[in-house]
Amino acid sequence: MLLTLKAKLQPTEEQRRKLLRTIETFNRACDYISMDAYESRTFNKYRLQHRLYYRIREQHRLPAQLAIRAISKVVESYKVERRRLHVFGRHGAIAYDQRIMSFKGLDVVSLTTVEGRETIAHLVGDYAGLEQRVLRGQADLIYVRKEFYLCLVVEQPEEPPFTPEGILGVDLGIVKLASTSDGEVYSGEDVEAVREHYTRRKAELQRVGSKSAKRHLRRLSGKERRFKRQTNHVISKELVAAAKGTRRAIALEDLRGIRSRVTVRRGQRGRHGKWAFGQLRAFVEYKARVAGVPVLVVEPRDTSRRCSRCGHVERANRRTHACFKCRACGYELNADLNAAENIRWRAEVMQPIVVCHPVGVEFELQAHDLRRES
Protein backbone atom coordinates (compact mmCIF):
# COMPACT_ATOMS: atom_id res chain seq x y z
CA MET A 1 0.00 0.00 0.00
CA LEU A 2 1.20 3.51 -0.82
CA LEU A 3 0.83 6.03 2.01
CA THR A 4 1.68 9.71 2.31
CA LEU A 5 4.01 10.76 5.12
CA LYS A 6 4.52 14.43 6.03
CA ALA A 7 8.16 15.31 6.79
CA LYS A 8 9.21 18.75 8.07
CA LEU A 9 12.21 20.25 6.31
CA GLN A 10 14.99 21.88 8.37
CA PRO A 11 16.53 24.41 5.93
CA THR A 12 19.02 27.13 6.78
CA GLU A 13 17.93 30.74 6.26
CA GLU A 14 19.65 30.77 2.87
CA GLN A 15 18.00 27.48 1.86
CA ARG A 16 14.64 28.80 3.07
CA ARG A 17 15.01 31.82 0.79
CA LYS A 18 15.85 29.58 -2.18
CA LEU A 19 12.94 27.23 -1.55
CA LEU A 20 10.49 30.12 -1.21
CA ARG A 21 11.74 31.71 -4.42
CA THR A 22 11.45 28.36 -6.18
CA ILE A 23 7.82 27.87 -5.10
CA GLU A 24 6.83 31.40 -6.08
CA THR A 25 8.60 31.21 -9.46
CA PHE A 26 7.08 27.79 -10.15
CA ASN A 27 3.53 29.03 -9.52
CA ARG A 28 4.02 32.17 -11.61
CA ALA A 29 5.04 29.85 -14.43
CA CYS A 30 1.88 27.79 -13.80
CA ASP A 31 -0.26 30.94 -14.16
CA TYR A 32 1.51 31.78 -17.43
CA ILE A 33 0.94 28.26 -18.78
CA SER A 34 -2.68 28.26 -17.60
CA MET A 35 -3.43 31.55 -19.41
CA ASP A 36 -1.98 30.24 -22.66
CA ALA A 37 -3.76 26.88 -22.34
CA TYR A 38 -7.12 28.50 -21.59
CA GLU A 39 -6.94 31.07 -24.38
CA SER A 40 -5.74 28.59 -27.00
CA ARG A 41 -7.95 25.76 -25.63
CA THR A 42 -4.88 23.53 -25.62
CA PHE A 43 -4.93 21.07 -22.72
CA ASN A 44 -2.72 18.32 -24.11
CA LYS A 45 0.54 17.99 -22.19
CA TYR A 46 2.76 17.30 -25.18
CA ARG A 47 1.31 20.15 -27.25
CA LEU A 48 1.70 22.60 -24.39
CA GLN A 49 5.23 21.41 -23.80
CA HIS A 50 6.08 21.90 -27.47
CA ARG A 51 4.56 25.42 -27.43
CA LEU A 52 5.80 26.73 -24.10
CA TYR A 53 8.84 24.84 -22.83
CA TYR A 54 11.55 27.17 -24.08
CA ARG A 55 9.52 30.28 -23.23
CA ILE A 56 9.11 29.06 -19.63
CA ARG A 57 12.81 28.32 -19.33
CA GLU A 58 13.74 31.75 -20.67
CA GLN A 59 11.14 33.97 -18.98
CA HIS A 60 10.91 32.27 -15.57
CA ARG A 61 14.39 30.80 -15.33
CA LEU A 62 13.08 27.43 -14.22
CA PRO A 63 15.30 24.35 -14.38
CA ALA A 64 14.31 21.93 -17.15
CA GLN A 65 12.44 19.37 -15.07
CA LEU A 66 10.67 21.99 -12.96
CA ALA A 67 9.36 23.49 -16.21
CA ILE A 68 8.03 20.06 -17.19
CA ARG A 69 6.42 19.63 -13.75
CA ALA A 70 4.74 23.05 -14.07
CA ILE A 71 3.16 22.04 -17.38
CA SER A 72 2.01 18.75 -15.86
CA LYS A 73 0.42 20.56 -12.89
CA VAL A 74 -1.59 22.83 -15.18
CA VAL A 75 -2.72 19.96 -17.41
CA GLU A 76 -3.84 17.91 -14.40
CA SER A 77 -5.91 20.81 -13.07
CA TYR A 78 -7.72 21.25 -16.40
CA LYS A 79 -8.65 17.58 -16.51
CA VAL A 80 -11.22 18.33 -13.81
CA GLU A 81 -12.80 21.53 -15.18
CA ARG A 82 -12.13 23.59 -18.33
CA ARG A 83 -14.89 26.22 -18.34
CA ARG A 84 -12.89 28.85 -16.45
CA LEU A 85 -9.34 30.10 -16.20
CA HIS A 86 -7.34 28.39 -13.47
CA VAL A 87 -5.23 30.61 -11.22
CA PHE A 88 -2.60 29.06 -8.96
CA GLY A 89 -1.77 30.19 -5.45
CA ARG A 90 1.49 31.98 -4.86
CA HIS A 91 2.69 29.19 -2.57
CA GLY A 92 1.07 26.18 -4.24
CA ALA A 93 2.73 22.77 -3.99
CA ILE A 94 5.48 21.50 -6.29
CA ALA A 95 5.46 17.82 -7.27
CA TYR A 96 9.05 16.56 -7.18
CA ASP A 97 10.10 13.39 -8.99
CA GLN A 98 13.29 11.33 -9.14
CA ARG A 99 14.99 13.72 -11.57
CA ILE A 100 14.85 16.68 -9.17
CA MET A 101 14.83 14.94 -5.79
CA SER A 102 16.96 12.25 -4.19
CA PHE A 103 17.35 10.94 -0.65
CA LYS A 104 20.70 10.89 1.13
CA GLY A 105 19.62 8.46 3.83
CA LEU A 106 16.39 8.60 5.83
CA ASP A 107 16.82 12.13 7.18
CA VAL A 108 18.38 14.14 4.34
CA VAL A 109 16.96 15.02 0.93
CA SER A 110 18.46 16.75 -2.11
CA LEU A 111 16.09 19.13 -3.96
CA THR A 112 16.46 21.16 -7.14
CA THR A 113 15.78 24.90 -6.72
CA VAL A 114 15.98 27.84 -9.11
CA GLU A 115 19.46 28.48 -7.71
CA GLY A 116 20.80 24.94 -7.95
CA ARG A 117 20.68 21.76 -5.92
CA GLU A 118 20.27 21.94 -2.12
CA THR A 119 20.79 19.21 0.47
CA ILE A 120 18.33 19.70 3.34
CA ALA A 121 17.66 17.75 6.54
CA HIS A 122 14.09 16.70 7.36
CA LEU A 123 12.28 15.36 10.43
CA VAL A 124 9.85 12.45 10.59
CA GLY A 125 8.16 11.31 13.81
CA ASP A 126 9.37 8.08 15.37
CA TYR A 127 5.81 6.71 15.08
CA ALA A 128 6.22 6.49 11.30
CA GLY A 129 8.85 3.72 11.44
CA LEU A 130 10.35 5.06 8.22
CA GLU A 131 13.21 2.57 8.20
CA GLN A 132 10.67 -0.22 7.74
CA ARG A 133 9.18 1.30 4.63
CA VAL A 134 10.31 1.93 1.09
CA LEU A 135 10.60 5.56 0.01
CA ARG A 136 9.29 6.21 -3.49
CA GLY A 137 11.04 8.77 -5.67
CA GLN A 138 8.21 11.32 -5.59
CA ALA A 139 6.97 13.90 -3.12
CA ASP A 140 5.11 17.21 -2.89
CA LEU A 141 6.91 20.24 -1.51
CA ILE A 142 4.40 22.40 0.40
CA TYR A 143 4.68 25.68 2.33
CA VAL A 144 2.39 25.94 5.37
CA ARG A 145 2.55 28.55 8.13
CA LYS A 146 6.02 29.65 7.03
CA GLU A 147 7.32 26.09 7.25
CA PHE A 148 8.33 23.73 4.45
CA TYR A 149 7.16 20.12 4.35
CA LEU A 150 7.69 17.17 2.03
CA CYS A 151 4.69 14.89 1.56
CA LEU A 152 6.60 11.66 0.97
CA VAL A 153 5.12 8.65 -0.77
CA VAL A 154 6.10 5.48 1.10
CA GLU A 155 5.30 1.86 0.46
CA GLN A 156 3.77 0.15 3.49
CA PRO A 157 4.03 -3.65 3.51
CA GLU A 158 0.69 -5.44 3.95
CA GLU A 159 0.31 -8.51 6.08
CA PRO A 160 -1.20 -11.63 4.49
CA PRO A 161 -4.99 -11.52 4.83
CA PHE A 162 -6.77 -14.05 6.99
CA THR A 163 -10.21 -15.65 6.84
CA PRO A 164 -12.13 -14.19 9.81
CA GLU A 165 -13.51 -16.43 12.53
CA GLY A 166 -16.05 -13.87 13.71
CA ILE A 167 -17.07 -10.22 13.41
CA LEU A 168 -16.49 -7.20 15.62
CA GLY A 169 -19.41 -4.76 15.31
CA VAL A 170 -18.56 -1.07 15.67
CA ASP A 171 -21.14 1.68 16.14
CA LEU A 172 -19.93 5.22 15.34
CA GLY A 173 -21.47 8.12 17.20
CA ILE A 174 -21.02 11.67 18.48
CA VAL A 175 -21.32 11.36 22.27
CA LYS A 176 -19.42 8.08 22.06
CA LEU A 177 -17.16 8.16 19.02
CA ALA A 178 -17.10 4.37 18.77
CA SER A 179 -18.71 1.48 20.67
CA THR A 180 -17.93 -2.17 19.96
CA SER A 181 -19.91 -5.36 20.35
CA ASP A 182 -17.27 -6.40 22.91
CA GLY A 183 -18.47 -3.58 25.20
CA GLU A 184 -15.54 -1.24 24.54
CA VAL A 185 -16.53 2.44 24.45
CA TYR A 186 -14.51 5.41 23.14
CA SER A 187 -15.92 8.62 24.61
CA GLY A 188 -16.21 11.83 22.62
CA GLU A 189 -16.06 14.12 25.69
CA ASP A 190 -12.53 15.36 24.99
CA VAL A 191 -13.35 16.08 21.36
CA GLU A 192 -16.50 17.97 22.34
CA ALA A 193 -14.61 19.99 24.96
CA VAL A 194 -11.99 20.97 22.38
CA ARG A 195 -14.69 21.89 19.85
CA GLU A 196 -16.54 24.09 22.35
CA HIS A 197 -13.29 25.77 23.46
CA TYR A 198 -12.20 26.73 19.94
CA THR A 199 -15.72 27.70 18.85
CA ARG A 200 -16.02 30.06 21.81
CA ARG A 201 -12.50 31.46 21.38
CA LYS A 202 -12.93 32.09 17.66
CA ALA A 203 -16.24 33.88 18.24
CA GLU A 204 -14.62 36.17 20.82
CA LEU A 205 -11.71 37.02 18.51
CA GLN A 206 -14.01 37.63 15.56
CA ARG A 207 -16.03 40.09 17.62
CA VAL A 208 -12.85 42.01 18.51
CA GLY A 209 -11.70 42.20 14.90
CA SER A 210 -8.32 43.84 15.62
CA LYS A 211 -5.10 42.95 13.80
CA SER A 212 -3.79 41.04 16.81
CA ALA A 213 -7.10 39.14 17.06
CA LYS A 214 -6.83 38.16 13.40
CA ARG A 215 -3.25 36.97 13.95
CA HIS A 216 -4.49 34.90 16.89
CA LEU A 217 -7.25 33.41 14.69
CA ARG A 218 -4.67 32.34 12.13
CA ARG A 219 -2.66 30.62 14.88
CA LEU A 220 -5.78 28.77 16.06
CA SER A 221 -6.63 27.61 12.55
CA GLY A 222 -6.45 23.84 12.22
CA LYS A 223 -5.84 22.99 15.89
CA GLU A 224 -9.28 21.48 16.44
CA ARG A 225 -9.02 19.51 13.20
CA ARG A 226 -5.60 18.12 14.14
CA PHE A 227 -6.84 17.07 17.60
CA LYS A 228 -9.76 15.18 16.03
CA ARG A 229 -7.45 13.57 13.51
CA GLN A 230 -5.10 12.34 16.24
CA THR A 231 -8.05 11.00 18.26
CA ASN A 232 -9.38 9.10 15.24
CA HIS A 233 -5.93 7.64 14.58
CA VAL A 234 -5.75 6.29 18.15
CA ILE A 235 -9.28 4.81 18.06
CA SER A 236 -8.87 3.19 14.64
CA LYS A 237 -5.54 1.67 15.65
CA GLU A 238 -7.08 0.07 18.75
CA LEU A 239 -10.10 -1.24 16.82
CA VAL A 240 -7.92 -2.90 14.20
CA ALA A 241 -5.63 -4.35 16.88
CA ALA A 242 -8.62 -5.83 18.73
CA ALA A 243 -10.00 -7.41 15.54
CA LYS A 244 -6.64 -8.78 14.46
CA GLY A 245 -5.88 -10.21 17.90
CA THR A 246 -9.10 -12.25 17.84
CA ARG A 247 -9.02 -12.98 14.06
CA ARG A 248 -12.30 -11.16 13.37
CA ALA A 249 -13.53 -8.87 10.63
CA ILE A 250 -14.73 -5.35 11.46
CA ALA A 251 -18.32 -4.36 10.65
CA LEU A 252 -19.21 -0.68 10.23
CA GLU A 253 -22.36 1.20 9.26
CA ASP A 254 -22.61 2.99 5.93
CA LEU A 255 -23.25 6.52 7.22
CA ARG A 256 -22.80 8.36 3.94
CA GLY A 257 -25.46 11.06 3.51
CA ILE A 258 -26.52 10.96 7.16
CA ARG A 259 -26.25 14.74 7.55
CA SER A 260 -28.87 15.26 4.84
CA ARG A 261 -31.17 12.59 6.29
CA VAL A 262 -31.10 13.65 9.94
CA THR A 263 -32.30 16.92 11.44
CA VAL A 264 -30.92 18.24 14.73
CA ARG A 265 -31.67 21.13 17.05
CA ARG A 266 -29.99 24.48 16.46
CA GLY A 267 -27.72 24.04 19.48
CA GLN A 268 -26.46 20.68 18.18
CA ARG A 269 -25.77 21.74 14.59
CA GLY A 270 -22.14 22.65 15.17
CA ARG A 271 -21.45 19.37 16.95
CA HIS A 272 -23.26 17.31 14.31
CA GLY A 273 -21.71 19.21 11.39
CA LYS A 274 -18.17 18.62 12.68
CA TRP A 275 -18.69 14.90 13.35
CA ALA A 276 -15.67 13.26 11.70
CA PHE A 277 -17.18 9.77 11.24
CA GLY A 278 -16.00 9.60 7.62
CA GLN A 279 -12.40 10.18 8.64
CA LEU A 280 -12.61 7.52 11.37
CA ARG A 281 -14.03 4.99 8.92
CA ALA A 282 -11.28 5.80 6.39
CA PHE A 283 -8.60 5.34 9.07
CA VAL A 284 -10.09 1.99 10.13
CA GLU A 285 -10.21 0.79 6.52
CA TYR A 286 -6.63 1.63 5.61
CA LYS A 287 -5.15 0.37 8.89
CA ALA A 288 -7.16 -2.83 8.52
CA ARG A 289 -5.87 -3.28 4.99
CA VAL A 290 -2.28 -3.03 6.24
CA ALA A 291 -2.99 -5.53 9.02
CA GLY A 292 -4.87 -8.00 6.78
CA VAL A 293 -8.21 -7.47 8.57
CA PRO A 294 -11.39 -7.55 6.39
CA VAL A 295 -13.86 -4.66 6.80
CA LEU A 296 -17.61 -5.07 6.17
CA VAL A 297 -20.01 -2.17 5.65
CA VAL A 298 -23.69 -2.75 6.48
CA GLU A 299 -26.98 -0.88 6.12
CA PRO A 300 -27.55 1.29 9.24
CA ARG A 301 -31.36 1.21 9.16
CA ASP A 302 -32.93 0.37 12.55
CA THR A 303 -29.65 -0.65 14.20
CA SER A 304 -30.50 1.73 17.08
CA ARG A 305 -34.15 0.59 17.34
CA ARG A 306 -33.77 -3.19 17.13
CA CYS A 307 -33.41 -5.30 20.25
CA SER A 308 -30.18 -7.28 19.96
CA ARG A 309 -31.68 -10.07 22.12
CA CYS A 310 -35.16 -10.73 20.68
CA GLY A 311 -35.05 -8.80 17.40
CA HIS A 312 -38.07 -6.57 18.13
CA VAL A 313 -37.90 -3.26 16.21
CA GLU A 314 -39.71 -0.20 17.59
CA ARG A 315 -38.84 3.45 17.85
CA ALA A 316 -39.91 3.55 21.49
CA ASN A 317 -37.28 0.92 22.35
CA ARG A 318 -34.73 3.71 22.57
CA ARG A 319 -36.10 5.60 25.54
CA THR A 320 -33.30 8.20 25.66
CA HIS A 321 -30.12 8.82 23.72
CA ALA A 322 -28.16 6.54 26.05
CA CYS A 323 -30.78 4.05 27.28
CA PHE A 324 -32.25 1.15 25.30
CA LYS A 325 -35.11 -0.93 26.73
CA CYS A 326 -36.99 -3.41 24.57
CA ARG A 327 -40.76 -2.98 24.71
CA ALA A 328 -41.25 -6.69 23.92
CA CYS A 329 -38.85 -8.56 26.18
CA GLY A 330 -37.70 -5.85 28.59
CA TYR A 331 -34.01 -6.23 27.73
CA GLU A 332 -32.01 -3.16 28.86
CA LEU A 333 -28.62 -2.09 27.57
CA ASN A 334 -26.65 1.01 26.67
CA ALA A 335 -28.06 2.17 23.32
CA ASP A 336 -24.67 2.37 21.58
CA LEU A 337 -23.61 -1.09 22.71
CA ASN A 338 -26.96 -2.46 21.55
CA ALA A 339 -26.40 -0.84 18.14
CA ALA A 340 -22.89 -2.32 17.90
CA GLU A 341 -24.31 -5.78 18.59
CA ASN A 342 -26.95 -5.25 15.90
CA ILE A 343 -24.27 -4.23 13.41
CA ARG A 344 -22.36 -7.43 14.18
CA TRP A 345 -25.55 -9.49 13.83
CA ARG A 346 -26.53 -7.85 10.56
CA ALA A 347 -23.10 -8.50 9.07
CA GLU A 348 -23.24 -12.16 10.09
CA VAL A 349 -26.85 -13.16 9.48
CA MET A 350 -29.05 -10.71 7.67
CA GLN A 351 -27.18 -10.22 4.41
CA PRO A 352 -24.79 -12.07 2.09
CA ILE A 353 -21.32 -11.06 3.18
CA VAL A 354 -18.84 -10.17 0.45
CA VAL A 355 -15.52 -9.16 1.89
CA CYS A 356 -12.91 -7.16 0.05
CA HIS A 357 -9.59 -8.53 1.21
CA PRO A 358 -6.76 -6.05 1.75
CA VAL A 359 -5.20 -7.23 -1.51
CA GLY A 360 -8.41 -6.73 -3.46
CA VAL A 361 -9.46 -10.40 -3.59
CA GLU A 362 -13.14 -11.00 -2.88
CA PHE A 363 -14.43 -14.05 -1.10
CA GLU A 364 -17.81 -14.95 0.32
CA LEU A 365 -18.48 -15.92 3.90
CA GLN A 366 -21.40 -18.18 4.69
CA ALA A 367 -23.61 -16.75 7.41
CA HIS A 368 -23.79 -20.06 9.30
CA ASP A 369 -19.99 -20.13 9.57
CA LEU A 370 -20.01 -16.94 11.59
CA ARG A 371 -23.35 -17.02 13.37
CA ARG A 372 -23.28 -17.16 17.12
CA GLU A 373 -25.96 -16.78 19.77
CA SER A 374 -26.70 -13.17 20.66
Instruction: Please write the tens of the pLDDT for every residue from 119-176.
Output: 999 987 665 556 545 667 789 999 998 999 999 888 877 888 888 999 999 999 888 8
Given a cut of 60, whether residue 12 has pLDDT beyond it is yes
CA distances from 322 to 113, 176, 269 (A): 58, 10, 19
Q: 187-226: string of b/e by CB count within 10 Å (b at 16+)?
A: ebeebeebbeebeeebeebeeeeeeeeeebeeeeeeebee
- Strand-pair partners of 149: 8, 142
* 335-374 tens-digit pLDDT: 999 999 999 999 987 553 444 444 333 333 333 333 333 3
Task: Give pTM, 2 decimals.
Answer: 0.76
What are the tens digits of pLDDT across the range 31-45?
999 999 999 999 999
Helix (H) or strand (E) holding 112: strand 108-113
Give the pLDDT band (50/70/90) at residue 79.
very high
> Residue 80, Cβ neighbours under 10 Å: how many?
7
| HEC-encoded secondary structure of 160-196 | CCCCCCCEEEEEECCCEEEEECCCCEEECHHHHHHHH
pLDDT at 4: 83
Q: How far apart are the first and last CA of the chain?
A: 36
pLDDT value of residue 259: 53
Higher pLDDT, 143 or 259: 143
Sign of CA dihedral 343, 345, 346, 348: positive
Which pLDDT score, from 0 to 100, does residue 161 have? Answer: 84
Q: What DSSP designation does 256 have?
A: T
